Amino acid sequence: MQLSTIAGVITAACLLLSSQSLLASDTKPGVTIYATGGTIAGKAESDTATTGYKAGAIGVQDLVSAVPAIANVATVQSEQIANTASGNINQAILLKLSKAINQQLKNPDTHGAVVTHGTDTLEETAFFLDLTVKSDKPVVVVGAMRPATAISADGPMNLLEAVTLAASPRADKRGVMVLLNDRIGSAFYTTKTNATALDTFKANEQGYLGAFYAGKPYFFYQPALPENKPSFDVSDKTTLPKVDILYSYQDQDSDFLSTAIEHGAKGIVIAGSGNGATSSGVKEEIRKAMAKGIPVVLSTRTGNGYVTAKTKEDGIGSGVYNPQKARILLSLALADGDNMEKIRSYFEE
Ligand code: DAS
């Protein structure tokens, strides 16, 4: 081979290599957005209206195209799972979402998933996904407190940060996360703490996992998961057992518990006062339910704290779980066919 031919082959090979590495560095991580509705997709009559709007009025394509900067951080695909206020999210939607995400995260081209959601029950969906998605890849649940039509709507920036987070390798192995208002919280602990304020999602005792600074996610600690975090496989589940939450207060009729069971509840969570407390009459009803094999988990209406273990007859202390998270966990445990002691171990250990 002549020298000039060899030089030509080498030049062609170099060009090919450099164009391949250019392509590789240009390829953004794959992120799938699952939209379910909520205020982030909400439309109001005027740009000053921040209440009284229609949640779940805008489709996922419009949400994404309203934030062109998303294309700079990820290669996005999207799916409209529902388009509703989050009070309407039910077990059928949760199961569909969990199955879709589990499947999608197996794809090597997908680095993470984002779920857009109404904020009112966002923590329930985030917690459900945290217990049922089996992957080290990031899942980020995002919402907004102001409708998309409002001045200073928070949704577009929240969505951009959620996609950035789902595309970031720093977000791996941290469980499902909640992203709003530049703050990254663990779905396991985070709860909605304020009916209307932008900085509503918090875990008062456990704090945040990290935050967004200058458009980048910054984590406060190495990846870590909560103590005693359970995991459930819902791939073959089509329904989940009914679990009701009953709120404790003074002068309460004690028959509300048996009424819930008569209406099909397979487990009960009590939003008790203080450390899961109820009146003596309700305590008697709890003992009867426990004796019949119906688990009664005693959580707290205080919004914070750890509900300690109870004697076997008196119910199950909810531990770190607030009533709405305890309901999800109890329903998943019942769906798994777990016995009373196994169920107790999720909460009290
Ligand atoms: N409309 C409510 C919901 O869908 C509130 C919200 O999204 O912020 O949960």
Q: What is the pLDDT of residues 170-190, one digit of tens each?
A: 999 999 999 999 999 999 999
Q: With a 6 A CB cut-off, is 39 part of the ligand 1 pocket?
A: yes
Question: Is the residue at 202 inside a domain?
Answer: yes
Distance 32 CA to ligand 1 centre (A): 21
Q: With a 6 A CB cut-off, is 86 part of the ligand 1 pocket?
A: yes
Nearest ligand 1 atom, CA 120:
9
pLDDT at 115: 98
Q: With a 6 A CB cut-off, is 119 part of the ligand 1 pocket?
A: yes
Confidence of residue 80 (pLDDT cuts 50, 70, 90): very high
Q: Which residue has the higher pLDDT, 15 or 304?
A: 304
**Which of 170, 186, 219 corresponds to the end of one domain?**
219
Give the whole-number percent of the chain exceeding pLDDT 70. Answer: 93
Question: Is the residue at 17 inside a domain?
Answer: no
Of 119, 121, 200, which is best to mutate to test ligand 1, by the most ligand atoms within 8 angstroms of its C-beta? 119
pLDDT at 50: 86
Q: How many CA atoms lie within 13 A of 247 on its CB side?
A: 5
Question: Is the residue at 238 inside a domain?
Answer: no
Distance 165 CA to ligand 1 centre (A): 22
Nearest ligand 1 atom, CA 39:
7
As beta bridge partners, residue 243 has: 267
Q: What does the pLDDT look like over 186-219, one tens digit per residue?
A: 999 999 999 999 999 999 999 999 999 999 999 9
Are residues 279 and 207 located together in one domain of the fold?
Answer: no
Are residues 194 and 256 located together in one domain of the fold?
Answer: no
Question: Is the residue at 42 inside a domain?
Answer: yes
Confidence of residue 25 (pLDDT cuts 50, 70, 90): low
Where does residue 72 rank: exposed (0-12), middle (13-18), buried (19+ CB within 10 A)? exposed
Q: Domain tally for the chain?
A: 2
Question: Is the Cβ–Cβ distance between 117 and 36 less than 8 Å?
Answer: yes
Question: Is the residue at 331 inside a domain?
Answer: yes
pLDDT at 45: 83
Q: What does the pLDDT look like over 224-266, one tens digit per residue?
A: 999 999 999 999 999 999 999 999 999 999 999 999 999 999 9
As beta bridge partners, residue 83 has: none
Distance 134 CA to ligand 1 centre (A): 27
**Which of 219, 235, 268 corresponds to the end of one domain?**
219
Are residues 199 and 288 located together in one domain of the fold?
Answer: no
pLDDT at 180: 98
Are residues 183 and 293 located together in one domain of the fold?
Answer: no
- Structural domain for 268, as ranges: 243-348
- CA dist., res. 87 & res. 65, Å (int): 26
Q: With a 6 A CB cut-off, is 55 part of the ligand 1 pocket?
A: yes
Which residues belong to the active site?
39
- CA dist., res. 321 & res. 306, Å (int): 8
Question: Is the residue at 252 inside a domain?
Answer: yes
- CA dist., res. 91 & res. 96, Å (int): 8
Task: Give the H or E element holding residue 76.
Answer: strand 75-84
Are residues 197 and 275 located together in one domain of the fold?
Answer: no
pLDDT at 231: 98
Question: Is the residue at 96 inside a domain?
Answer: yes
For residue 211, give the 3-state DSSP assignment.
Answer: strand
Of 83, 120, 199, which is best to mutate to test ligand 1, by the most ligand atoms within 8 angstroms of its C-beta? 120
Are residues 283 and 164 located together in one domain of the fold?
Answer: no
Q: What does the pLDDT look like over 91-110, one tens digit per residue?
A: 999 999 999 999 999 999 99
Are residues 131 and 265 located together in one domain of the fold?
Answer: no
CATH number at residue 110: 3.40.50.1170
Q: With a 6 A CB cut-off, is 148 part of the ligand 1 pocket?
A: no
- CA dist., res. 188 & res. 159, Å (int): 21
Token pair for residue 240? Answer: 């989940």
- Does 4 score more than 70 pLDDT? no
Of 63, 84, 86, 116, which is best to mutate to test ligand 1, by the most ligand atoms within 8 angstroms of its C-beta? 86
Token pair for residue 92? Answer: 């059928």
Distance 184 CA to ligand 1 centre (A): 19
Question: Is the residue at 271 inside a domain?
Answer: yes
Are residues 42 and 185 located together in one domain of the fold?
Answer: yes
Nearest ligand 1 atom, CA 84:
4
- Does 14 score more than 70 pLDDT? no
CATH number at residue 287: 3.40.50.40
Distance 148 CA to ligand 1 centre (A): 12
Give me the DSSP letters along 86-126: GGG--HHHHHHHHHHHHHHTTSTTEEEEEEE--STTHHHHH
- CA dist., res. 331 & res. 295, Å (int): 10
CA neighbor of 152 nearest in space, from 193, 181, 115: 181
Are residues 190 and 281 located together in one domain of the fold?
Answer: no
Sheet containing strand 216-219, edge to edge, reads 75-84, 30-37, 110-116, 139-142, 176-180, 183-186, 210-213, 216-219
The stretch 304-317 carries a mean pLDDT of 96
Are residues 130 and 262 located together in one domain of the fold?
Answer: no
Q: What does the pLDDT look like over 258-302, one tens digit per residue?
A: 999 999 999 999 999 999 999 999 999 999 999 999 999 999 999
Q: With a 6 A CB cut-off, is 348 part of the ligand 1 pocket?
A: no
According to DSSP, residue 307 is labeled B
Are residues 113 and 194 located together in one domain of the fold?
Answer: yes
Q: With a 6 A CB cut-off, is 44 part of the ligand 1 pocket?
A: no
Q: Which residue has the higher pLDDT, 33 or 10?
A: 33
Those residues with Cβ within 8 angstroms of residue 191's Cβ, 6 or more apart along the chain or in another chain: 123, 201, 202, 203, 303, 322, 324, 325
Are residues 63 and 186 located together in one domain of the fold?
Answer: yes
- Does 71 score more than 80 pLDDT? yes
Confidence of residue 20 (pLDDT cuts 50, 70, 90): very low
Question: Is the Cβ–Cβ distance between 137 and 172 less than 8 Å?
Answer: yes
**Which of 185, 219, 253 corresponds to the end of one domain?**
219
